[in-house]
Amino acid sequence: MGSSTSVVVEEEKATWKKPHNLEVDEDLQEKQRPFIADFGKDLTLCWLAHTLQGKRVRHYFVTDGTLMMEFGDGRKVTGSVEVKPLSYKAGSYEVEKEFQFTKEVRQRMEVVCGSQNHSFCLRNSEHMCKYIITGSWVSRQVFPEGLIMSAFRSYMGGKPPVEINTLPVDLKPEVVMKTLYTGMTGFIKYRRAKTPLTEREASEAFNVVLLGPTGCGKSNLINVLYNKTVCPSVASLSSVTRNMRITQGTTTVLGRQRPVNVIDTIGFCDSEMSPSEVMASVQQHLKANFFEIDKIVLVCAGRLEAEQEAAMRQIMDWLRYSEGQNRFNFVLVYNKCDGLDETQREELLAQMCGRLKLATSSLLVSPTPCLPSTTLKGQTQNRITDLPLQVAVGFPPNASYASVTEDHLAYLDAVFHTHGGRLKVDPASGCAVL
């Protein structure tokens, strides 16, 4: 990473204006794919240092000690993803991680092989390698204080490209949509999944962000809002969400039709990403897409580890939970409570409020505009006058809607009833790294 300054900068800036995809050369991909099968079962993630704009940055590659896959050469903006013999001498590079050549790793190698659209900030060697290993498109070097970001920040005009650390379009998985519960009305009418958003899409919509530890069921809670499987979701302790995902739709909020953006985030303490990586990725994504957020839904289920608790409290501090009326923009959802009675649910909510230092907030409710539960019951005036912002719910697969109706309505009311204030996202603010 060390050509003429002006050439590198101008070529890099040009990549920020191009579509955020990999531009796979199909002929190159066809020639390269057979070589992927020759990798051994033990792989390593490695990097060597180059100088870019006077900064020491890392060029990543994956190797088994004989073959390697890399994106470009780490020195020029242009480059392709290719398999080739390992050409770097032992001792000239560092080993960051060991991993196995699994079926999933091989599939991801085959997908990115032949990619041409290299960009130091948007589609770099670290992005490619992390995607191969985990399925996430995250480069620490383009976090706000990252090595590559420091090399190009002064050329961004104070506004980094919104595509930073977002999955390229051609890597986004197709989701087969199925109805969750027969007889349930999808409160949000689904439109599409879209990342990143335009400024208008973000400012005019009711913005809901779900945050929580790995495996707590955030994706399924989003599916419940639509009554469709708009997000991949499985019952597992490992994270399904490897990249930030925004779904869009329309619904009624405070009596008027509104566009809605629902943001599914990477789980805190993801099994393949460190807490600091997850925190930086979530924060960077929110700052790039949103100036204002209407509801933060804090989701938990089962045991909350100390580092997960710390991450959730840190995001609360970053969004200034304790200031003014901001606490009314936060909802606590204790998920996976099916099978628990009311007393057990209340005890779990009380424990979690204590650990997260959440006030047991509620919102006063006027007869109109109607709450979601009021509308879905076919009523014209609210009978509830005080609405809790902490709810315990359970939405087991294959259950009848009758068995989850009460939880569904309580969840919708907590998320979509609002005091009208919005959380301001300061693009210049930051969380400390865990």
Looking at residue 399, its pLDDT comes to 94
Q: What confidence tier does 76 reach under pLDDT thresholds 50, 70, 90?
A: very high
Mean of the pLDDT values across residues 410-418?
A: 96
pLDDT at residue 2 greater than cutoff 50: no
Region of 106 please: left (phi>0), alpha (psi -120 to 50) or beta: alpha
pLDDT at residue 112 greater than cutoff 90: yes
pLDDT at residue 266 greater than cutoff 60: yes
pLDDT 10s digits, 385-409: 999 999 999 999 889 999 999 999 9
pLDDT 10s digits, 189-248: 999 998 888 899 999 999 999 999 888 999 999 999 999 999 875 443 334 456 788 999
Looking at residue 432, its pLDDT comes to 39
pLDDT 10s digits, 23-50: 999 999 999 999 999 999 999 999 999 9
Mean of the pLDDT values across residues 138-160?
A: 93
The pLDDT mean for the chain works out to 91
Mean of the pLDDT values across residues 407-417?
A: 97
Order of all β-strands in the sheet with 245-253? 189-193, 245-253, 256-264, 206-211, 295-300, 330-334, 390-392
Q: What confidence tier does 434 reach under pLDDT thresholds 50, 70, 90?
A: very low
Mean of the pLDDT values across residues 135-148?
A: 92
Looking at residue 6, its pLDDT comes to 76
Mean of the pLDDT values across residues 281-291?
A: 87
Q: What confidence tier does 332 reach under pLDDT thresholds 50, 70, 90?
A: very high
Q: What confidence tier does 122 reach under pLDDT thresholds 50, 70, 90?
A: very high
Among 106-110, 216-220, 427-431, name the one with the lowest average pLDDT.
427-431
pLDDT at residue 163 greater than cutoff 80: yes
Among 174-178, 198-202, 378-382, name the one with the lowest average pLDDT.
174-178
Looking at residue 239, its pLDDT comes to 43
Mean of the pLDDT values across residues 343-348?
A: 96
pLDDT at residue 370 greater than cutoff 60: yes
Give span(s): CATH 3.40.50.300, the chain.
173-424
Mean of the pLDDT values across residues 373-395?
A: 96
pLDDT 10s digits, 51-71: 999 999 999 999 999 999 999
Looking at residue 5, its pLDDT comes to 54
CATH architecture, domain defined by 173-424 = 3-Layer(aba) Sandwich (3.40)
Looking at residue 236, its pLDDT comes to 38
